[in-house]
A and B are shown apart, each in its own frame.
Chain A
Amino acid sequence: MSSGRDDLLERLLEGSRCDAEAGESAEAYERRGTSIELVEDADGTRLSVVAERGFALRLFRSGRTAFAASPPEASDRLPAEARLVLGRARARRGARAAGPVALDRAPALVPLAPPDEASARALLASFRSALVTEGEGAVSLTEAILTVGARTERVVTTAGRDVAFGSGIATLVATVTGRTAAGSVSARVLASASRPEELFLARLAHQAVDRALLPLRGRPLAPARGDLLLDPAVAAPVVGRLAPAFFGDEGDALLASRTRNGRDAFASPALSLVDDASAPGGPVKATHDGEGTAHSRTLLVSRGIAVGRLSDCAAAIRLERPPTGNAQRRSYSEPPAIGVTNFFVDPSRGVTPLELLRALARGFYAAVPLSRPEVDFASDRFRLHAAGYWVEKGRAADAVSETLVEGRLSELLRAVEAVGDDLKFVPSGSGGAGSPTLFIPKWKGA
């Protein structure tokens, strides 16, 4: 990757030739990134080293928006392309280039240190070793994909914004196979963090072993009334699926219908939901979003009551609130859209998971998800396919190979009686979703 500075971004913004009097404004964006991907499988090792640079331009005119993106060699065409069909787009209030922010940094893109191949290999070796120890020979690693990347971004607008910032990402995706006399099962587990050393390999290995062996060693459990304890690995993906209800003003109608225009609580008083790019243990560690707005900690549900929304600049104008810094760009070639950073259930008033387990008189401890949870906010339904343990008087009585926990989503959220203090994150959308252990007493379908 070229690390030297040039004036391509400035030229791109100048090339947009915005007519401020006609209500035009523009935002130019640059991303530089390097990443390595190390793949180990039965056939050997594959190393991919990627260096990239890309540009994007958004033009705004009287509420209309058009977007164009390209690598450097074609960036001079972006203004013309963005103008092509700008007039055909529908207008929407709030669409305009963002102005300067108070804490703008010097507009310099610091060259990135390339991710380290030797460390990546050592990390995969550690994971393999942890898996062998946890799985006691019954679980093997079919494929492991470790990706480590770093990037710098810069946003400049005709309204005076000029912000540069950097971030990192590390992801480990492992496919494991469990084999016992009862048969064989393969499963995929993944973890992400802002740096490779924060990947919590031992925890991922433990989860992989449970995910591969519980379906082989346990017995199916028919849905029955009982207490329900959701491990963070099961609860966090469900929490992640709640996030779109808080995206700007898009989810307003849905949220209003689920809470009868705010007359009902969204969840039980034990639950508070937060989005925070600096949350400890969260996979996202960034200072700014894809529009150059500084991230903030946003309280979305306070003790069961919906109080906040996640917004980009346009949604913030429509909501008449300051932007929360949640415009996410998945790549330079996609326009920013509202998304989460680290979206989680606040564990600050939680108790230890052991205390929650002791409170389980007779019920199911869902330890690992067996498939992606089904969460349909519109029809107020959810469904979890999980494996775990049947628990009596706080002790595991039997391994459960699979069971379904389903019902009304609103009832589940309002039935959470206590939360743990063991917040853990899973990758979700462009960021992460986190939850501690959740305790739901006397659930009708577990």
Chain B
Amino acid sequence: MSEVVEVFRRDAEDAVRIVSGLLRRGETGEAFRERRRRVSWTATEAGLLAPAFADERGTAVRLRRGRESLLVAREGDGPEALREAVREASRRAGGSPFLKSRVVAPEGADAEVSAPEEEERAAQLGAALHRALPDPRGLSLSLTVARIAVSRAVVTAREIVACGTVRRLEATGVLRRANAARPFAFQTSAPWAPALDALTRALSEAARPVPTHRAAEGRVDAVFSPGAASVFWHEAVGHPLEAEGGERGTVLTRVPRAAVAPAGVFVTADPTRGDLPGSYLADDEGTPARSVALLTDGCVDGLVTDRRSAGRASNGHARCGDFRRPPRPRLSNVVVSPGRASRDELLEACGSGLYVREISSAHADPESGRFTLFVESADLVRRGALGAPLGPFALTSDVLSALRQLHPECGDVSHPANGLGLCVKGGEGVAVGGASPAILIRGLTAVRGRP
């Protein structure tokens, strides 16, 4: 896959000429090429069941004129697919391009997938599952573990821009015990061996019996682990600052430059963090990735934008789930700067409350600011010390109250979050990441249950 972006460049001169010939006065646009390779296994408590190899290749041609935009997508990522998509886009836009048929050198075959390498990986994955669940009695596992590599490039009227190749290991499914089912979601962009180790640890943790102790419903103060805090920042600050708020904006865009969080809180959307799953070199419109300040010193600062919302001033956050869908302003990696408090100091400051270890899913309404975090794993906090583990529950609040009630000191290390994986908006998922220190939020509302 590492050579895929180079494959996209093989017809560079021709592709750029075709795209520039497509655009008429007052129009902007580009072509988008994608190749996605997915190797997955169905995993059960008995072992690896069914391997699946899937290769998807596609080309999209996009045109924008005023408030209208058009996308034409075809399967295939070579010159023929581009020509076919350009012909159709031009026809729909009222043009009639003359594309000379020229003989295109056939694309060199990809490096053959090596059987021993795949066998080795399958064996390593099987061993990792065995390490995670050494005694699966009483446990039923239904997981899909996938190794995914996605390469993308954008052909503009001037050049071919490589968006990069993103690789990740993903595992999703359910673990069942006699009287409880637990959803499991894991993602990492780490290399294969450390990724398997991380999966083993996460699975082993998830396989522990679900505690029967329940969180009391009502107002509660909660310390969030770095992984759980990343989900909070993504939902509470990230989504309301995507430039798609409609005519009245969102709960945060309605208060530009207002101090909504304690001084010293810095939150950025940073696709340049190569160690996190939401990274890329250029966005899906070919704008170079760059870090955007969302909260600066506790004040609302920037929005993540694409070309549709910001024109040439796009800050490189146009993202699409795949080549069939138009890009929209979406988050990448939400990164929060560390403070100076240790975890114990935050627990001490919390006094009595909860320590949230893992959030399995979350949703937010950017209009009203209400958000819900579904907590999969947490501990009681009593007199500043960790207590009994708790069964699943949900935490709700609204964005402005939660930020106002944020403890001024954050944890002293900003850790990457393993659990934050796929962000689904409008049915379209994009890989996202996060890094945050531990935080303490007061006055949240705990509600029993699980999604």
Q: Which residue of B lies closest to A45 (CB)?
A: B68
Are B113's CB and A84's CB within 8 A? Answer: yes
Chain A contacts of B56 at CB under 8 A? 54, 69-71, 333
Q: How far is the CB of A79 from the nearest CB of chain B, in Å?
A: 11
Q: How large is the interface on A (under 10, 10 to 19, 20 to 34, 35 or more residues)?
A: 35 or more
0/1 interface trace, chain A 3-28, chain B, CB 8 Å (1 if under): 00000000000000000000000000
Partner of A184 from B74, B78, B248 at Cβ < 8 Å: B248
Are A183's CB and B368's CB within 8 A? Answer: yes
Q: Complex formed: what's the CA distance from A196 to B32 in Å?
A: 29
Q: B105 on the interface (CB 8 Å rule)?
A: no
B49-70 CB contacts (< 8 Å) to partner A: 49-58, 66-70
Known A53-B75, A89-B49, A90-B47: A70·B427 in contact at CB below 8 Å: no
Q: A73 on the interface (CB 8 Å rule)?
A: yes
Chain A contacts of B113 at CB under 8 A? 80-81, 84
Q: How far is the CB of A162 from the nearest CB of chain B, in Å?
A: 23
A contact patch SS: strand
Are B69's CB and A333's CB within 8 A? Answer: no
Q: Complex formed: what's the CA distance from A161 to B146 in Å?
A: 30
Q: Which residue of A lies closest to B361 (CB)?
A: A372
Residues of A whose CB lies within 8 Å of any CB of B are: 37, 39, 41-54, 65-74, 77-78, 80-82, 84-86, 88-90, 92, 140, 142-143, 145, 173, 175, 177, 179, 183-187, 250, 253-254, 257, 333-335, 371-372, 374, 376-380, 383, 404, 406
- 24 pairs from A and B in contact (CB 8 Å cutoff): A42-B247, A45-B68, A46-B326, A47-B70, A48-B324, A48-B326, A49-B92, A54-B75, A67-B51, A71-B58, A72-B75, A73-B78, A74-B55, A85-B118, A88-B119, A88-B122, A88-B123, A90-B44, A173-B427, A183-B368, A186-B365, A335-B50, A379-B180, A404-B447
Q: B235 on the interface (CB 8 Å rule)?
A: no
Are A70's CB and B46's CB within 8 A? Answer: no
Chain B contacts of A37 at CB under 8 A? 325
Known A66-B51, A333-B56, A383-B449: A46·B69 in contact at CB below 8 Å: yes
Are B450's CB and A374's CB within 8 A? Answer: yes
Are A184's CB and B368's CB within 8 A? Answer: yes
Chain A contacts of B178 at CB under 8 A? 257, 378
Q: How far is the CB of A86 from the nearest CB of chain B, in Å?
A: 7
Q: Complex formed: what's the CA distance from A404 to B244 in Å?
A: 31
Are A378's CB and B181's CB within 8 A? Answer: yes
Q: Complex formed: what's the CA distance from A225 to B49 in Å?
A: 47
Are B73's CB and A48's CB within 8 A? Answer: yes
Q: Which residue of B lies closest to A51 (CB)?
A: B74
Are B68's CB and A89's CB within 8 A? Answer: no
Are B53's CB and A84's CB within 8 A? Answer: yes
Chain B contacts of A71 at CB under 8 A? 55-58, 75-76
Are A50's CB and B51's CB within 8 A? Answer: no
